[in-house]
Amino acid sequence: MDVESGICQGNEDSGPSESGIKIPDRMLKREQDRLEDVERKKEAKNSQSVTEEKSGFFTATFSSEKATIEELLEGCSGATDRALATQTLEEVTTKTQLLQKFLNDSMVFLPQYELRQAQAALQKLQNSLAEKRDEILPKKKFAFRSRAANAPKVDPPAPPVTPKDSGRTKVDGAISPPEQCGFSHFEAQVLTKSGEEIKQQDVLLTHLTNCKVRLLGSPSTVHIKHVQNCEIFSGPVSSSVFVDHCTGSTLSFPCQQLRTHHTTDTQVYLHVTSRAIIEDCQGVRFAPFAWSYLGLDQDFKVSGLDRERNNWNEVDDFNWLALGTQSPNWSVIPETERRTEWDS
């Protein structure tokens, strides 16, 4: 009887058991924690497996489509049938647009290295397509010289932006080709590029003051550097827009990603399918993209951007790390203050 009493007293803080033997609470908690840990690891493994499966599917599909496009472009070399070559180029253009959209839709789960590799491969395809188009369907080339010649003369005259102008231009630390598409060193001018001039090229806009810039096409990438009191509107940009040292300006464009540095008192009317990032900025205000021009719908198709996905008000400030608190460096433009007249 004393033994039984001792057993009962020694297990007053124990949990129940189906066999009648009581298990200490600490052992029950330890087992519960172990089971929860096993479940967490299982979920993490399943999630990783799904991501790897998606990534593997992307790599196989992207490589296959890339090879098909390269084969079609190779078939255009030395073609004597102009009509057939034109038809092939149209097919390549369509396939390249679809591949761009496939990449845009897949970027949410792709590792950064694989994403950069795919973007570089796609850019190479787009450049090859532009070269083949110029080779097979040559057209009169547009040059900055003619644009500068048509501009009102000032005293002293602004230096013309030609391939000879200052040799080469640096873009984010790299040296660009002498015939970089874009505008440089203009003041109080209206500057326009058509879709034929842009043709999915990288565009550089630098050292502009009091200018109105209209890019009526779909660039691959846009660099905006050292601009003041300007209006810069662009058609859909396939990949990224980089803004650096921009003051008192209004920008409007759709893009995959926006990176903004050293920018103040600037309004951005944005359509972005990934994220907008600011760093070392103040007084940057955002609103949805609203500019329109003839051919915008087709340029959206060329860019591969998803018109239904717009994260214009999801902005990451790299200088503001307080979670759950709005950064003081950017804000949303109230609807009553948003621009409604675009070409006045």
User: What are 13-60's pLDDT values in tens digits?
Assistant: 555 555 556 667 777 777 777 777 777 776 666 555 555 567 778 888
Task: Provide mean pLDDT across the span 293-313.
Answer: 91
Q: How does residue 137 score in pLDDT terms, banded at 50, 70 and 90?
A: low
Distance CA 132, CA 189 (A): 33
The sign of the CA dihedral 240, 246, 247, 250 is negative
Give residue 125's pLDDT: 85
pLDDT: which is higher, 113 or 23: 113
Higher pLDDT, 283 or 64: 283
Integer CA distances (angstroms), 55 to 22, 58, 59, 123, 150, in order: 50, 5, 6, 20, 51
**Which pLDDT band holds residue 179 (cuts at 50, 70, 90)?**
low
Max avg pLDDT among 149-158, 168-177, 194-203, 258-267: 258-267
Q: Is the pLDDT of residue 258 over 80?
A: yes
- Segment 131-154 shows an average pLDDT of 55
Higher-pLDDT residue of 303 and 138 is 303
Six-digit token string for 28: 């029950």
Give the rounded distance of the alpha carbon of 59 from its chain centre: 20
Answer with the residue of higher pLDDT: 173 or 135. 135
Q: Around Cβ 8, how many Cβ atoms within 10 Å?
A: 10
- Burial class from Cβ neighbours inside 10 Å (0-12, 13-18, 19+) for residue 328 reads exposed
Which helix (H) or strand (E) is 83 found in, with range?
helix 82-106
pLDDT of residue 158: 46
Asked whether residue 216 carries a pLDDT value surpassing 90, the answer given is yes
Distance CA 273, CA 22 (A): 58
Instruction: Produce one character per residue of 33-63: b if its CB has 16 or more CB atoms within 10 Å, e if not.
Output: eeeeeeeeeeeeeeeeeeeeeeeeebeeebe
Cβ atoms of 68 and 88 within 8 Å: the answer is: no
Task: Report which of 250, 254, 303, 245 is spatially closest to residue 276, judged by C-alpha positions.
Answer: 254
Domain spanning 28-136, CATH architecture: Up-down Bundle (1.20)
The yes-or-no verdict on residue 165 having pLDDT over 80 is no
What mean pLDDT value characterizes the chain?
78
**Predicted local distance difference test score (pLDDT) of residue 16:** 53
Residue with tokens 């124990």: 14
* Structure-block tokens of residue 184: 């440089």
Domain 182-337 belongs to what topology? Answer: Pectate Lyase C-like (2.160.20)
Q: Which tops the pLDDT comparison, 195 or 166?
A: 195
pLDDT of 192 above 90: yes
**For residue 333, pLDDT beyond 80:** yes
Check for a shared fold between 28-136 and 182-337.
no
The top-scoring range by mean pLDDT among 127-141, 145-159, 281-295 is: 281-295
> Judging by beta carbons within 10 Å of its beta carbon (0-12, 13-18, 19+), is residue 162 exposed, middle or buried?
middle
Confidence (pLDDT) at 205: 94
| Per-domain residue ranges of the chain | 28-136, 182-337
Torsion of CA 57, 58, 62, 64, to 10 degrees: 0
DSSP state of 280: S
What are the φ/ψ torsions at residue 50 (nearest 5 degrees)? Answer: -65, -45
